[in-house]
Structures are given as structure tokens and as C-alpha cells.
Amino acid sequence: MSQNIIKKAEEIIHSKTAAVNMGVGVTISLMDHEGYPTTSSLSISKADGLRHIYFGIGYSSNKAKRAMECSRASVCIFDDDFENDAYYNITLVGDVDIITDTTVKKEMWYEGLEEHFPEGGVDDPDFCVLRFTAKRYDLWIDFEENVTGSFDLPSLKTSTPCFEPILVYNNGQCGKAMELYEKAFGAEVLDVTLYSEYNPEESEVSEEQKEWIMNAQIKVGKQTILVCDDVTNNTKQGDNLQMVMEFKTDDAVKEAYNTMLNGATKLTPPHNAGYSSCVAYLTDAYGIPWQLMVWDK
């Protein structure tokens, strides 16, 4: 039953986002400079289940100032329309932080915010994103069971990630590179998957590219290295060496991605990629490209 309640709560939160139906009944409580909670209504830009909720606010606003002074916060989503059998109260307790990265701001922008930022819209330097990360939840929906719980911080505690570098090649050069590493370093080829082996009928790659390497593993000494061909041929020098962090669960990928968002660029949010139930890409605030993924080898 509790999983059904959690799923309903996630659906309710999603229904409150600006892209679906920007509705009332969403409040956030932040601590003021005297240590008292101050509650305001606020529209949700986007949400990732119960765990992460994003709001578009002004950097010069009291909300932003309070968030920067004290990260503790609570979000409440509620409705009491008894006539239509709609009753719920979703209370989340956690922390907030401020994101000013341009890529994230564009992702969180929605129609209607221009009224608050008429000068520059999404590029207005005063526009920023308030990210709420839940630690605990208390759910009461449709007079069913009251469900409470907490999130492990991080969710990786039960799923230790595995780190491997990946080398990415343009123009189908991966196979030739592997041959070079075999000769130069005594590299051992552990596993090779061609693009033709991955949904060949649905694949958009050309006949030539079907013989390119989708992913492979080589071992040099004690180090395992991932290698692959980029069928878009768009990998630039500097991006052809990426860091791959492999996780056991989708939630662990999403947790890591959201944690690394601030200051990150070249964002590809978590998604199902066929070969992985959840994969995401970003270049972190320090210029290091990362691939975060679920991979059951």
C-alpha cells in the first residue's frame, strides 16, 4: 500500500508543475534571519519524484536570501476538495540551494515567469533556481494510510558506484585504437558490442556505422577502460576522455546527477537509453565530463 501512496504523491507533485497545470496548493517554508519559519506559496518549475523539486525565483528576493542563510526548508502540497474526493497533504522536509547556471535556468524556465523578469527573461541575472532536496516525507492521500519515510543520503550507501574512464572516437576509429593499445600496452579485449547488435531494426545508424563499436571494454594491467564510437562524430578534443560512474539503481544515478547540477554544463538529464535503464551526461563545474549510468555487467 505504501508504494501506491508514494506513487500517487509523485503524480500529484508532477500535476502541480508549470508544464502540466500550474496549480495552487504549493508552499515552501524557509527560515528567516531570526530563525523563524516563513511560509510562501510558490509555483513548481519541475520535479523529480518526491526527492527534488525546483522553483524559479529572484536572486534578490527574500526567499533566495533566506535559502542562502539557512538551507533547512519544508515543502507542503495540499488540497481539500471534499466534494470531488480530492484530499491530500504532502509534507516534505529537507534542504535548499540556489542554482545560477544558465543551462539549468533555461531548463527550469516556463511561460509566465517573464512577468516577473521582464528585462531579460531567462537571461535576467536576477533569475535563479531554488532546488529543494527532500530528506523526509509525510504523505496523507485520499484518507488512505499515512506514509512516512526518509531518503538515505546519499542513496549510494546501498549501491557503491564503480568508476571507469571511457574513450570516445569519431569516424569509427575505435576498433583501430583498440588494436593499437593491444600492441603498445598488451591490452586485453574483454567485451565488444557493435551498433548492429543493439536494436538493429530500430537503429538510426547507417549500414557502415552498424559495424562500429557501441561499447567495449579493454584491460590494461589492472585498469579496465571503456571505449566506443560516436555515431554523431561530434565528440570534440577534450571531451573524448570522459569519466563513467556506474550505479546499481536509477535513483542513485538521479541523486548523483542532481547533486552535480550546480555550475554544470552540457546537460543530458537521466533517461532510459535501452542499453541502460538510466543514463545521464554532464560536464561538472570544474570542466570534467561525466557519464552517470546504471550498468549491470
Specify whether domain 158-294 bears CATH 3.10.180.10: yes
The pLDDT score that the predictor gives to residue 157 is 42
- Strand pairing class (241-247; 265-271): unpaired
Of 114, 81, 12, which Cα lies nearest the Cα of 53? 12
* Segments making up each domain of the chain, as ranges: 2-151, 158-294
| Lookup result for grid cell 570544474 | 286
SS3 189: strand
Instruction: Take residue 142 and report the three cell numbers written for it.
Output: 485520499
The pLDDT score that the predictor gives to residue 156 is 44
Domains 2-151 and 158-294 share a fold: no
The pLDDT score that the predictor gives to residue 202 is 53
- What is the residue-level pLDDT of the chain in tens, covering all 297 positions? 588 889 999 999 998 898 777 667 899 999 998 889 999 999 999 998 899 999 999 999 999 999 999 999 999 998 876 566 668 899 999 999 999 888 889 989 998 899 899 888 899 999 999 999 999 999 998 777 788 888 754 444 445 667 789 999 999 999 999 999 999 899 999 889 898 887 555 557 888 998 999 989 999 888 889 999 998 888 887 778 988 888 888 888 888 888 888 888 888 888 888 778 899 999 888 888 899 998 765
**Distance in angstroms (rounded) separating the CA atoms of residues 163 and 140:** 40
| Helices and strands, number each (H, E), in the chain | 6, 16
Specify the CATH number for 2-151; select among 1.10.10.10, 3.60.110.10, 2.40.50.100, 2.30.110.10.
Answer: 2.30.110.10
Helices (H), the chain: 2-15, 18-21, 62-69, 102-108, 174-185, 250-259
The pLDDT score that the predictor gives to residue 196 is 86
Question: From the CB of residue 48, how many other CB atoms can be counted at a distance below 10 Å?
Answer: 20
